[in-house]
């Protein structure tokens, strides 16, 4: 299949007078859409190829006629121009034949679109909420909710380190779904419009504030499938990947169980009192993952859009103001209250108040965060 498709693409190349670059079709030279791993994605691929082949045939006829004409009907061959310039029969013919071809294409397209729109009878519902620039996954009815952020280190992006295989297509916490199960995605956004796209699932749905869009998938093959945000959503649009792990049903049950235990463990950890060095170490990590893309690793920000942490009135001011900004967001910054655990929030606030030349000498404990949230 892949070989025929490469051949026909090469044909299109030729018809457009494009010289094929001398290439060996290694991994980096992927030419075509993925067939994907769901029945829908395979049908999408088939329809894509059908329309493509129809275009190729039309192309060969039209361009063929042009090239014959350019070769035969040139003045340098001493030909005399004809004078015909009208034919109702021809005009009707090339109106009706394309219309018929379109009907042939429209029928399978309609059938497939209906299937894609049928979100009934899903066994699992997952609410996907897009934020600048991360995804939040909430397993409805399971009390499991987490954020998923790019895990590609800045050193790779800034070319200080070699890029990994899944560069910009890897996350800290992937979406996990069971194999052979119909999963419904409810897609929305908290700030601007994003779009959740995983090519192998042939699912692309815009995440729009105020809307909850529906999509579904049923993956028949265990594995890791990757995608990206597909709608321009601001500065880090290119840095909000998606990673879907499709696992056996047993593994999925195990994973959901572990996720629920995590919730309990976080509540337990929030009661602990931590030392300065513990808070600073965790805080730096949290800062680099969550804050550095805007406020920069050196804390100097990118003013005026992204203010500096160094010497900031908030980081150097009242603790309640700092807690409020981190937990509730504001002035263009998204809220982090849901995303960060109390330990992480306390750590990052401590870190910000005691780094980049900020010298508050103040420790913030997880319990402070919990109290602040309860007080709202």
Partner 1 sequence: MAHGPAKGISRWLFTTNHKDIGSMYLWFSFAMFLLGGTFALVIRMELFQPGLQIVEPNFFNQMTTMHGLVMVFGAVMPAFVGLANWMIPMMIGAPDMALPRMNNWSFWILPFAFALLVSTFFMDGGAPNFGWTFYAPLSTTYAPDTVTFFIFGVHIMGASSIMGAINIVATILNLRAPGMTLMKMPLFVWTWLITAYLLIAVMPVLAGVVTMMLMDIHFGTSFFEAAGGGDPVLFQHVFWFFGHPEVYIMILPAFGIVSAIIPTFARKPLFGYSSMVYASASIAFLSFIVWAHHMFTVGMPLFGELVFMYATMLIAVPTGVKVFNWVTTMWQGAMTFETPMLFSIAFVILFTIGGFSGLMLAIAPVDFQYHDTYFVVAHFHYVLVPGAIFSITAAVYYWLPKWTGKMYDETLGKTHFWLAFIGLNVTFFPMHFSGLAGMPRRIPDYNPLWADWNMISSIGAFLFGGAQILFLYIVIRAIVSGKKATDRVWEGSHGLEWTVPSPAPYHTFTTPPPKEDMQSY
Q: Binding marks (x or -) toward partner 1, 120..149, rule CB under 8 A?
A: ------------x-----------------
Under rule CB under 8 A, residue 234 binds partner 1? yes
- Binding residues for partner 1, total number by CB under 8 A: 104
Question: Nearer Cβ to partner 1, position 100 or 264?
Answer: 100
Q: For residue 219, is it left (φ>0), alpha (ψ between -120 and 50) or beta?
A: beta
Query: Under DSSP, is residue 232 helix (H, G, I), strand (E, B) or coil?
Result: coil
Task: Give me 361's structure tokens.
Answer: 């000498």
Q: Least CB distance from residue 19 to partner 1, whole Å?
A: 9
Q: Which residues are within 8 A (CB) of 269 and not within 5 positions of it... i.e. 6 or more apart?
A: 341, 342, 343, 366
Q: Which of 113, 140, 253, 265 binds partner 1 (CB under 8 A)?
A: 113
CB atoms within 10 A of CB 201: 27
Rounded Cα gap, residues 116 and 106, in angstroms:
15
Among 14, 143, 172, 209, binds partner 1 (CB under 8 A): 209
Residues between 328 and 367 with contacts to partner 1, criterion CB under 8 A: 332
CB of 115 to partner 1, least distance (A): 8
Q: Round to whole Å and give the CA distance between 126 and 81.
A: 68
> In the complex with partner 1, which residue's Cβ is closer, 89 or 264?
89
Q: How far is the CB of 73 from partner 1 (least distance, A)?
A: 5
Q: Does 116 bind partner 1 (CB under 8 A)?
A: yes
Contacts to partner 1 from residues 250-289, by CB under 8 A: none
The b-or-e profile of 209-248 (16+ CB within 10 A means b, else e) is eeeebebbbbbeeeeebbbbbbbebeeebebbbbbbebbe
CA distance 124 to 141: 9
Least spacing, CB of residue 303 vs partner 1, in Å? 8
- Please identify, among the stretches 120-128, 175-183, 227-235, 280-288, the one whose residues bind partner 1 according to the rule CB under 8 A: 227-235
CB of 69 to partner 1, least distance (A): 5
Is 62 one of the binding residues for partner 1 (CB under 8 A)?
A: yes
- ω into 304 cis (within 30 of 0): yes
State yes or no: residue 89 binds partner 1 (CB under 8 A). no
* Rounded CA separation 204/193 (Å): 13
Member of 1, 84, 107, 374 binding partner 1 (CB under 8 A) = 84
């Amino acid at each position: 299949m892949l070989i025929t498709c490469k051949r026909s693409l090469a044909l299109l190349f030729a018809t457009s007078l494009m010289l094929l670059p001398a290439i060996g079709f290694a991994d980096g030279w992927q030419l075509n859409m993925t067939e994907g791993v769901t029945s829908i994605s395979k049908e999408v691929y088939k329809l894509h190829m059908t329309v493509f082949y129809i275009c190729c045939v039309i192309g060969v006829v039209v361009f063929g006629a042009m090239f014959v004409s350019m070769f035969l009907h040139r003045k340098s061959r001493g030909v005399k121009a004809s004078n015909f310039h009208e034919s109702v029969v021809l005009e009707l013919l090339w109106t009706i034949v394309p219309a018929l071809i379109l009907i042939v294409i429209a029928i399978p397209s309609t059938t497939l679109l209906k299937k894609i729109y049928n979100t009934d009878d899903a066994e699992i519902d997952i609410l996907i909420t897009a934020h600048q620039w991360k995804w939040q996954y909430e397993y409805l009815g399971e009390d499991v909710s987490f954020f998923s952020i790019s895990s590609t280190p800045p050193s790779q992006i800034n070319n200080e380190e070699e890029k990994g295989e899944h560069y910009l297509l890897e996350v800290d916490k992937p979406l996990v779904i069971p194999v052979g199960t119909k999963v419904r995605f409810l897609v929305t956004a908290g700030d601007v419009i994003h779009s959740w796209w995983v090519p192998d699932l042939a699912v692309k749905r815009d995440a729009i504030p105020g809307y909850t869009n529906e999509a579904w998938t049923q993956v028949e093959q265990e594995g890791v499938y990757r995608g990206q945000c597909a709608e321009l959503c601001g500065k880090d649009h290119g840095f909000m990947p998606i990673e879907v792990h499709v696992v056996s049903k047993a593994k999925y049950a195990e994973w959901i169980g572990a996720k629920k235990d995590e919730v309990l463990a976080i509540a337990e950890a929030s009661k602990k009192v931590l030392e300065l060095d513990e808070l600073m170490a965790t805080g730096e990590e949290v800062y680099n993952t969550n804050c550095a893309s805007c406020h920069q690793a050196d804390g100097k920000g990118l003013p005026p859009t992204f203010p500096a942490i160094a010497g900031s009135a908030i980081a150097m001011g009242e603790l309640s103001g700092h807690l409020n900004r981190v937990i509730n967001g504001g002035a263009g910054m998204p809220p982090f209250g849901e995303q960060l655990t109390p330990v992480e929030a306390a750590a990052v606030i401590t870190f910000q108040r005691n780094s980049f030349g900020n010298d508050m000498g103040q420790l913030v404990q997880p319990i402070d965060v919990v109290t602040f949230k309860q007080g709202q």
